Chains A and B, each alone.
Chain A
Amino acid sequence: MKFNADNVKPLIEDEFVGEAAKRALQYIQGKRSAGMPVAGIYCGYAPMEVIRAAGAVPAILCAFANKTIAAAEAVLPANLCPLIKSSYGFIITDSCPFFGISDAVVAETTCDGKKKMFELISHYKPMFVMDLPQLPDEEEAQANWAAMITKLKGFLEKTFKTEATSERIEAEIKATNVKNALMNRVFDYAAKKPSLLKWSETYELAFLAQVATTEDLQPIFQEVFRTIKEREEKGVYYGTPSSPRVLVTGCPVGGDSTKVYKIIEEAGGVVVAMDSCTGMKPFMTAIEEDTGDPIAAVAVRYLQLPCSCMTPNLRRLTEMDKIIARFQPDAVIEVVLHACHSYNIEAYKIMNHAKEIHNLPYLKIETDYSDGDVEQIRTRVEALFDSL
């Protein structure tokens, strides 16, 4: 799969094309040299506005490589999600540069595996584990989560010896909203028929946009929109007008598991929407501004994340309705990491929703970070496209 023209300028043109993590690392190192503390995060529930208001730069910790899993399995059970094993492996082999430069780690009680893994790494760095309510629609949930965010604020203030004032949090809320609106403008070009962007471009931009401030992103966004405009004017698009458009949903996909995106492309499909925490999910909702209680506003926004660790997580279905209407996919492919029970079980509902409500073919791929199943996945994806 390629663009319909030669020598298409990449969306972010720098020395890091294809290396999202290295680009993020360079950014974070720059901030650290300028005196900013670094807060390592593992999950979409980490309240970025509070972390930034405390003067820190967030770093997404490594969790997507097969190479550290063997080391992790010396301690962790083999039958555990590869994301958790990989993260743990990175830490015990001291090979996650982001963890190395983190001054503190923010963690959440999402799934059981992560929760228990955090216990095993808690002595390496100052760590704050947030108790995440898992019935987000209950009356108490918002207040409880807001209380947790307040506690996190206290932890960050103490650890980084700063003050995260309400004004600063409010300012960060506004900055997030600006950033999310810009990201959504980019997603709209991926949604075009045919799509103007390759999946890896959206993926790389999302990776950087999670860690970088809105201010620092402005020049990059300007360049990105210039590039997109140019493509539009020249009639450049990705794939062919008849390539099946795919919505990929489910567990976070990054590093070695991007094999799934590659296989989809090799089979002739175009990934138009990445509905996961390493794709569009962190940018999909706005935070209410000027409420007078910024922590409560942040709490509301994060509880709206449609993660499978929530129950009953009906928002995943309503979000999917919107994504389908916006990106017009021809098929839905769900990526479930091995032993991720919550996404795996929820997949049944997603399948029924895709098939019955949207009349879209659906394929669930259960995989890990190894490449041993590439051909099996290829067979399934090709068969899915054959059936369109």
Chain B
Amino acid sequence: MTALGLDIGSRTIKLVVWENGAVVLTRKALTSSDPLAVCRELLHHTPPGPLVATGYGRHLVKEYLRCETVSEIKAFALGARAVFHSCRTILDIGGQDTKAISLTADGRIDKFHMNDKCAAGTGRFLEIMATALGLSLGDFMAEAMATETPHPINSMCTVFAESEVISTIARGTPRPAIALGIHQSIASRTVSLLERVAVTDDIVFAGGVALNGCMQKEIEKALGRNVHVPPDPQIIGALGCALLAAKNDEPVKRHDYDDKVKSSRGKARES
């Protein structure tokens, strides 16, 4: 059977199509100011099947796509166990929030914590810091990895951190040092969030920020343990949704999305 999972995050929307025990299609697109239109595009020409949605936008699509919704915590728990069966702890750093989830040995949610109402330490924070340094996200990570001597950045508020970075550049501090300092400050924040849920191996690191190898390395250093980054860390929530949709006994008949594709804006990325 076919089942679909949709994760409508604050920055990116992810789609996973699950068929007979395997992921057969994944799509991602920026959320934009019209997430519903983006969802329609992502669902264009996908095979029929039950759909479950998660993410901040889930309630937006619930009625429109006539689908079930699930909290991100549960979606990530299911998705992480699917890619890493022995997973007991999940760290997800997305565009606008960070979550830490601990699971019991049999995969049930034990505890969870999310950062509050603030972009500190999230993907958005990293983007703003990279821009302040005049670097692309890729170069920002590469520069940080090219040095051993960090310059600590103390502010965690996005606005204050940005001005701290700018004044540090003005004092002549080398950019790589600042870049590493930023990564380390996020890593230590992340570790305290993780410690609130009690960390047990194995740890899965998901979300867009998990694509940043320097972040992974610094978190591992601060934590004193290894973390596993799945091959496509951004789709874990959507994968969890697809798995849940596949498990639903009575598949909800979804609307025919294809009829609803009206907009032809920016085509979704397919992989």
Contact = CB atoms under 8 A, between A and B. Distances in A.
Contacts of A376: 97, 114, 116-117
Contact of B114 (A380, A386, A387): A380
Contacts of A385: 71
Interface in A353-380: 366, 372-373, 375-376, 378-380
A256 interface: no
A5 interface: no
Contacts of B116: 366, 376
Contacts of A386: 70-71, 73-74, 109
Nearest to B97: A376
A383 interface: yes
A379 B73 contact: yes
A157 interface: no
A62 to B, nearest CB: 25
A335 to B, nearest CB: 14
A379 B117 contact: no
B56 A387 contact: no
Nearest to B55: A379
A379 B72 contact: yes
Q: Which of A366, A383, A385, A386 has the most B CB atoms < 10 Å from its CB?
A: A383
A372 B117 contact: yes
Contact of B109 (A366, A372, A375, A383): A383
Nearest to B72: A379
A379 B70 contact: no
Interface in A109-166: none
B221 interface: no
A288 interface: no
Interface string B69-96: 0111110000000000000000000000
Interface string B41-67: 000000000000000100100000000
Interface in A217-247: none
Contact of B117 (A373, A378, A383): A373
B247 interface: no
Given A376-B97, A387-B108, A387-B109, A382 B117 contact: no
Contacts of B108: 387
A119 B13 CA distance: 51
B56 A379 contact: yes
A380 B112 CA distance: 9
Interface string B101-128: 0000000111010101100000000000
Contacts of B59: 375, 378
Interface string A1-24: 000000000000000000000000
Interface of B: 56, 59, 70-74, 97, 108-110, 112, 114, 116-117
24 contacts: A366-B116, A375-B56, A376-B117, A378-B59, A379-B56, A379-B72, A379-B114, A380-B112, A382-B70, A382-B71, A382-B73, A383-B72, A383-B74, A383-B112, A385-B71, A386-B70, A386-B71, A386-B73, A386-B74, A387-B73, A387-B74, A387-B108, A387-B109, A387-B110
Interface of A: 366, 372-373, 375-376, 378-380, 382-383, 385-387
Closest 7 pairs between A and B when the two form their complex, measured CB to CB: A383-B73, A387-B109, A382-B71, A383-B71, A386-B74, A386-B71, A373-B117
